[in-house]
Amino acid sequence: MTNAPAATAHALPGSQPLSALEIAHVLSAEIVDYSKLSMDQQSRLLGRLVRIISEISELRSAQTSGQLIGLPAAEGMTLVFFGDPLAPVRCATEIARALQSYPEMKLRMGIHSGPVYRMAGIDARANVAGDGIKTAQRIMTSGEAGHILVSKPVADTLSGLGSWAKCLHDLGERELTPGARLHLFNLYTGDAGNPECPSALTATVTSTTAAPASAEVPAIKRKVRPVFIAALFVACVFAVIAGYIGIKRELAAPPRLTTEFAENFISLDRWKTPPSGWSFANQSLQIENEPSLGYAPKTNCGDFTMTFSLKLINDGGATWALRVKDPGNYYLFYLSGPGGMNTPNYFFTYLVQDGKQVLEHADKVLVTLKAGGQYHISIEASKDLISQTITSDQIDDDDAGYAKTLGLVRDDTYHMGCIGFRTFGNEKFAVSALFVRPPGVHVPE
């Protein structure tokens, strides 16, 4: 890795400090195995990374207000934010989502809040240096492709926020440089980050209660009777058979839906392990800051129609899943509101495979989304085609009562599955009057 020139412990020749030591929030990112790429690949990927970062709304906002200094590096970039401690975290997740469309781009990121000082560089432009930057870069190099690693000061800030706290995975205290230890966390939101522990941080745990190697344990000789051995063998056989039957039952697909599934949410008994962020009242399901998927096994089918009423309690939006094979494999749809994690007023389609989300495409929402808004969602799945519409139930909307196309998906990854809900970011929404109907079951007159 090549550090930015300003990220050294000493000021550049002829430079003058612009401020006293202050705490900054640093995001360091670099392309993995950059040095192994050809020069044209390096130029293309680095140019693409710069374009992606420059288009992020969080970065543009910080830059406009003078709260950001960027330090370009040979293999990536370091972004130094002042003021908002969440700015580098939001920026990192936006970068990770944008890179889903570029699988050839392998990026790792590290985030740290630490001391820096601003200074004027040789070209008289604002620059920055300090241990806060070097620490962020060391955290970054501990990760692998896709990782977003954060230090404990960053994790402490995030742990007080419900939507982010669930995305932190403790990696323990690590020695990044000889004699310097730092507590690290892996940030994984479900659609941003890498859930695996970095191989460089994988440690072998040795029990402190184990007997010393030199200690000799005297052998105890016992006479083992043949009858006992036979009984033990039979018990093992039965245990294996019971375990196999249990596994087969667990893996067996739920029965196919043949009648209407009508859910008024007077309980959550029909949902597979309802997540902690779910609650129900007044015949509606409320979901808040819940990245874990909850789904209804009794809705298993291939072709179906589905309708439900949707209320956006905050301005984040709403998220639902279709053809859920299991908690790690399904189609995911995110309706991003004005305060959503993605581009506002867009409908995003994701393919989730083995827990990893890949953005398929995004569609502009043709109705006005807002906090407190009420809408009606209609879905039809037929073979490899899933079409969806949205109708605004807001009386003050010009397009109230008119169904507008929400999204159209043609994909043959999942032919059958259940329906479910979760959140994409900090959404808070309510679902009511949910109906799922297999072929041949029609809406009552």
Is residue 176 located within the same domain as residue 28? yes
Give pTM, 2 decimals.
0.49
Burial class from Cβ neighbours inside 10 Å (0-12, 13-18, 19+) for residue 47 reads: exposed
Q: Which of 165, 185, 201 is the last residue of a domain?
A: 201
> Has residue 235 been placed in a domain?
no
> Has residue 1 been placed in a domain?
no
Give the CATH number, domain containing residue 382.
2.60.120.560
CA dist 155 and 160 (Å) reads 9
CA dist 118 and 335 (Å) reads 40
CA dist 134 and 182 (Å) reads 13
CA dist 44 and 102 (Å) reads 12
Q: What is the dihedral of CA 438, 441, 442, 445, to 10 degrees?
A: -140
Is residue 34 located within the same domain as residue 147? yes
Q: Which of 201, 222, 244 is the last residue of a domain?
A: 201
Q: How many domains does the chain have?
A: 2
| Chain centroid, CA 109 distance in Å | 14
Is residue 283 located within the same domain as residue 415? yes
> Has residue 338 been placed in a domain?
yes
Is residue 166 located within the same domain as residue 34? yes
Answer yes or no: are the C-beta atoms of 68 and 80 closer than 8 Å.
yes
> Has residue 50 been placed in a domain?
yes
> Has residue 2 been placed in a domain?
no
Is residue 196 located within the same domain as residue 269? no
Domain that holds residue 139: 16-201
Give the CATH number, domain containing residue 190.
3.30.70.1230
> Has residue 418 been placed in a domain?
yes
Is residue 62 located within the same domain as residue 182? yes
Q: Which of 154, 172, 201 is the last residue of a domain?
A: 201
CA dist 195 and 169 (Å) reads 8
> Has residue 219 been placed in a domain?
no
Region of 154 please: left (phi>0), alpha (psi -120 to 50) or beta.
Answer: alpha
Is residue 163 located within the same domain as residue 274? no
> Has residue 443 been placed in a domain?
no
Residue type, 278: W
Q: What is the dihedral of CA 336, 108, 29, 346, to 10 degrees?
A: -10
3-state DSSP percent of the chain in helix, strand and coil, to 5: 20, 40, 40
Q: What is the pLDDT along the chain (445 residues), one digit of tens a residue?
A: 444 444 333 333 444 455 567 888 999 999 998 888 888 888 888 888 888 888 777 677 676 667 888 887 778 889 999 888 888 998 999 899 888 888 888 999 999 998 988 876 554 566 788 888 999 999 999 999 999 999 999 999 888 776 788 889 999 988 877 777 899 999 998 888 998 888 877 753 333 333 333 333 333 344 445 544 444 444 544 444 444 444 444 445 578 999 999 999 999 999 988 899 999 998 999 999 999 999 999 999 999 999 999 999 999 999 999 999 999 999 999 999 998 888 889 999 999 998 888 888 888 999 989 999 999 999 999 999 999 999 998 777 767 788 999 989 998 999 999 999 999 888 999 999 999 999 987 655 4
